[in-house]
Structure 1
């Protein structure tokens, strides 16, 4: 039985497929926007649920936001609500 491993963010930057590059760009844009709003998530990463064996590339990649404390979650909610109120 074989298992497919998810690459960590350091290995994804070496051989970034288009889907992984898209997720990396999205993660970086979100981190920058949150930082400007005064919110920092402690662990943002890229996850690839599986690799397409035929093409050897990730079918898609996800921006994993990780876990955060209650104060950070409240700060994120406030930023979102302020954006909605515009």
Structure 2
């Protein structure tokens, strides 16, 4: 029997940004302002930033397909 180890989600905001950026790139989506929120380092937040409407619609489409 082969067992596969499930990859744990990173808790570090910088690592999470890279994982998210890779996934978005694979889906053909670029969030230009994606990055670590340096304004509140203790909260370990990620800034997704602003996007054009067509990018938001593309992101919504990818999420819907992934949830189906």
TM score, norm. by length of structure 2: 0.76
Q: Report the number of matched residues.
A: 58
Structure 1 stretches of 4+ with a deviation exceeding 4 A read none
Asked whether the 8 Å contact 1:44–1:64 carries over to 2, the reply is: yes
Query: Could you say what secondary structure the match of 1:59 adopts?
Result: helix
Q: In terms of Rg, which structure is larger? A: 1
Greater RCO between the two (CA within 8 Å, min separation 6)?
1
Which protein has the bigger strand share? 1
TM score, norm. by length of structure 1: 0.61
Asked whether the 8 Å contact 1:23–1:61 carries over to 2, the reply is: yes
Gaps of 5+ in 1: 1-20, 51-57
The CA RMSD over aligned residues, in Å, is 1.6
